[in-house]
C-alpha cells in the first residue's frame, strides 16, 4: 500500500489534465470548483490539444485553448460553450462584404482580439507556450492556481482524409467538423507535424510529478487522442506514479454533444464508453461512467458509476462529477 496520505485528506494536490475544448473546459471549471472546496491550494495544470489550430485571415486561431481560457476565465458564451459572451460579429460581416474566405468559421469581434494579439506575439518570436501564458494571465488563470500549457510549441494540424466517389482528399479538421458537421465519413485522421513535435515545456513533468492525472470527457480521438500522439506523452502516462482517471464522454454509446461517434468510427472503434476506455487501457487506472453504463467493464481498469447522470449541466453538477472522479483516483492509487 502507498504510504503517502490519502488523496482526499485535504492536502493540496497537483492535478494534471489533458483537455480539448468545450467538454474539457466545462469539466475543468467544475474540477477547480471542487478543489477549491476540498483542497484549496491545489494546483491544476492543463495540457491543451492544439491539433485544432488553424490560420484564418492571417491569424492563428487555437480553438481549444481559447475555449479553455474563456471558460476558466469566466468569459465564455454559456449557451454554446465556446466563444465570448456578449459577442458581436461586425468584423466578420465586413470580411463577408469583401468576399473574404472562409465564412464557415465563426469569429466574433472580441474573439478577434485574442487571435490578433496571439498572432502578433507569435510574429515577434514568442513560443506558443509563452503566448498562452500571457493570454492566461489576462483571464486570471494563475490566480486560480491554473497553469495552461499547449501540448506542443510546434505547429501541428489535424487533417481528415475523406473518401468521396472513390477519391481521397484531405481537409483541415475544422472544415470537416464545422463546415461539413462531420457528415462526410472520415476514413482517417492525419496530424501534420505531430511526428516531429516535442511536448511543450512542463508537459511531461506535469504528468510525471502529478498526484493525480485526469482525463476530462473530451473527444477521445481528436482531442485526447491527438495529445497522446505527442512524442513522450503516452510514455509519461504509463510511467507516472500518479493514478490516471477519466470521465466518459459517451452516455449509452452516444456523445453528449459533437460528433465523437463519427471520429470513433473513422478509427474503427465502437461508440461505447468501454471502447473509449479501451483506447487508454495501457495507462488508465479508473474510468467514471454514467449510471446508464453501469455494466461497463474494461480489463485492467477500475470502473465506477457517478450516482447522477454524467451531465455537466452546471458548475455544481460538474463539481460533483469531479468529486466522484477524485474518489475513484484515491481508490485506484498504484
Ligand atoms: P471540443 O474540443 O470543443 O470538441 O471539446 P472536447 O473534445 O473537450 O469535448 C467534447 C466531448 O465532450 C464530446 O465527445 C462530448 O460527448 C463530451 N461532453 C460534452 N458535454 C458533456 C457532458 O455534459 N457530459 C459528458 N460525460 N460528456 C460531455
Ligand atoms: Ca477541439
Cβ 174 vs Cβ 143: under 8 Å: no
> If you average pLDDT over every residue of the chain, what do you get?
96
Confidence class for position 231, pLDDT limits 50, 70, 90: very high
Q: Which CATH number fits the domain that encloses residue 210?
A: 3.40.50.10680
Residues 6+ apart with CB under 8 A from 49: 18, 19, 20, 21, 24, 64, 151, 218, 222, 223, 224, 226, 227
Task: Please indicate, yes or no, if residue 234 is contained in any of the structural domains.
Answer: yes
- Separation of 250 CA from ligand 1 center, angstroms? 8
Task: Please indicate, yes or no, if residue 26 is contained in any of the structural domains.
Answer: yes
Task: Please indicate, yes or no, if residue 146 is contained in any of the structural domains.
Answer: no
Task: Please indicate, yes or no, if residue 316 is contained in any of the structural domains.
Answer: yes
Q: Which residues form the pocket of ligand 1, taking CB atoms under 6 Å from any ligand atom? A: 19-24, 64, 67, 217-219, 223, 247-249, 255-258, 260, 310-312
Tell me which residue has its CA closest to atom 19 in ligand 1.
23
Q: What is the pLDDT of residues 136-162, one digit of tens each?
A: 999 999 999 999 999 999 999 999 999
- To test ligand 1's pocket by mutation, which of 256, 305, 312 has the most ligand atoms within 8 angstroms of CB? 256
Task: Please indicate, yes or no, if residue 130 is contained in any of the structural domains.
Answer: no
pLDDT at 3 over 60: no
CA 334/CA 331 separation, integer angstroms: 9
β-pair type (212-215, 14-19): parallel
Ligand nearest to the CA of 219: 1
Task: Please indicate, yes or no, if residue 152 is contained in any of the structural domains.
Answer: no
- Separation of 61 CA from ligand 2 center, angstroms? 12
- Separation of 52 CA from ligand 2 center, angstroms? 6
pLDDT at 4 over 70: no
**pLDDT the model gives residue 6:** 80
Cβ 159 vs Cβ 266: under 8 Å: no
- To test ligand 1's pocket by mutation, which of 215, 217, 224 has the most ligand atoms within 8 angstroms of CB? 217
Ligand nearest to the CA of 158: 2
Confidence class for position 249, pLDDT limits 50, 70, 90: very high
If you average pLDDT over residues 309-324, what whole number do you get? 98
From edge to edge, which strands make up the β-sheet containing 157-164?
167-172, 157-164, 186-192
If you average pLDDT over residues 220-243, what whole number do you get? 98
Q: What is the pLDDT of residues 164-203, one digit of tens each?
A: 888 899 999 999 999 999 999 999 999 999 999 999 999 9
Cβ 315 vs Cβ 29: under 8 Å: yes
Cell representation of residue 73? 476565465
| Count: domains in the chain | 1
**pLDDT the model gives residue 163:** 87
**pLDDT the model gives residue 164:** 82
Task: Please indicate, yes or no, if residue 85 is contained in any of the structural domains.
Answer: no
CA 89/CA 80 separation, integer angstroms: 15
- Separation of 219 CA from ligand 2 center, angstroms? 8
Task: Please indicate, yes or no, if residue 97 is contained in any of the structural domains.
Answer: no
- Separation of 126 CA from ligand 1 center, angstroms? 31
**Which atom of ligand 1 is nearest the CA belonging to 248?**
26
- Separation of 263 CA from ligand 2 center, angstroms? 12
Range of the domain at 318: 14-51+195-332
Q: What is the pLDDT of residues 23-81, one digit of tens each?
A: 999 999 999 999 999 999 999 999 999 999 999 999 999 999 999 999 999 999 999 99
Q: What is the pLDDT of residues 266-281, one digit of tens each?
A: 999 999 999 999 999 9
Tell me which residue has its CA closest to atom 27 in ligand 1.
249
pLDDT at 20 over 50: yes
Amino acid at each position: 500500500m502507498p504510504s503517502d496520505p490519502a488523496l482526499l485528506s485535504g492536502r493540496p494536490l497537483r492535478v494534471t489534465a489533458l483537455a480539448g475544448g468545450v467538454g474539457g473546459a466545462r469539466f475543468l471549471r467544475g474540477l477547480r470548483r471542487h478543489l477549491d472546496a476540498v483542497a484549496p491550494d491545489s494546483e491544476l495544470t492543463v495540457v491543451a490539444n492544439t491539433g485544432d489550430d488553424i490560420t484564418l485571415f492571417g491569424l492563428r486561431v487555437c480553438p481549444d485553448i481559447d475555449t479553455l481560457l474563456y471558460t476558466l476565465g469566466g468569459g465564455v458564451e454559456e449557451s454554446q460553450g465556446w466563444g465570448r459572451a456578449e459577442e458581436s460579429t461586425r468584423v466578420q460581416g465586413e470580411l463577408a462584404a469583401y468576399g473574404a474566405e472562409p465564412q464557415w468559421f465563426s469569429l466574433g469581434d472580441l474573439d478577434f482580439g485574442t487571435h490578433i494579439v496571439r498572432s502578433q506575439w507569435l510574429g515577434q518570436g514568442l513560443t506558443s507556450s509563452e503566448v498562452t501564458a500571457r493570454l492566461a494571465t489576462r483571464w486570471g488563470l494563475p490566480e486560480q492556481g491554473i497553469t495552461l500549457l499547449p501540448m506542443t510549441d510546434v505547429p501541428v494540424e489535424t487533417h481528415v482524409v475523406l473518401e468521396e466517389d472513390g477519391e481521397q482528399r484531405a481537409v483541415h479538421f475544422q472544415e470537416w467538423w464545422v463546415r461539413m458537421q462531420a457528415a462526410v465519413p472520415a476514413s482517417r485522421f492525419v496530424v501534420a507535424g505531430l511526428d516531429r513535435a516535442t511536448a511543450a515545456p512542463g508537459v511531461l513533468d506535469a504528468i510525471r510529478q502529478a498526484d493525480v492525472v485526469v482525463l476530462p470527457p473530451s473527444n477521445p480521438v481528436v482531442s485526447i487522442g491527438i495529445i497522446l500522439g505527442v512524442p513522450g506523452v503516452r510514455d509519461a502516462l504509463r510511467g507516472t506514479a500518479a493514478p490516471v482517471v477519466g470521465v466518459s464522454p459517451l452516455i449509452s454509446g452516444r456523445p453528449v454533444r459533437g460528433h465523437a461517434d463519427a471520429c470513433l468510427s473513422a478509427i474503427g472503434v465502437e461508440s461505447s464508453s468501454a471502447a473509449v476506455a479501451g483506447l487508454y487501457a495501457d495507462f488508465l487506472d479508473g474510468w467514471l461512467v454514467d449510471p446508464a453504463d453501469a455494466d461497463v467493464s474494461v480489463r485492467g481498469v477500475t470502473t465506477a458509476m457517478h450516482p447522477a447522470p454524467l451531465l455537466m449541466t452546471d458548475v455544481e453538477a460538474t463539481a460533483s462529477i469531479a468529486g466522484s472522479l477524485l474518489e475513484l483516483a484515491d481508490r485506484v492509487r498504484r
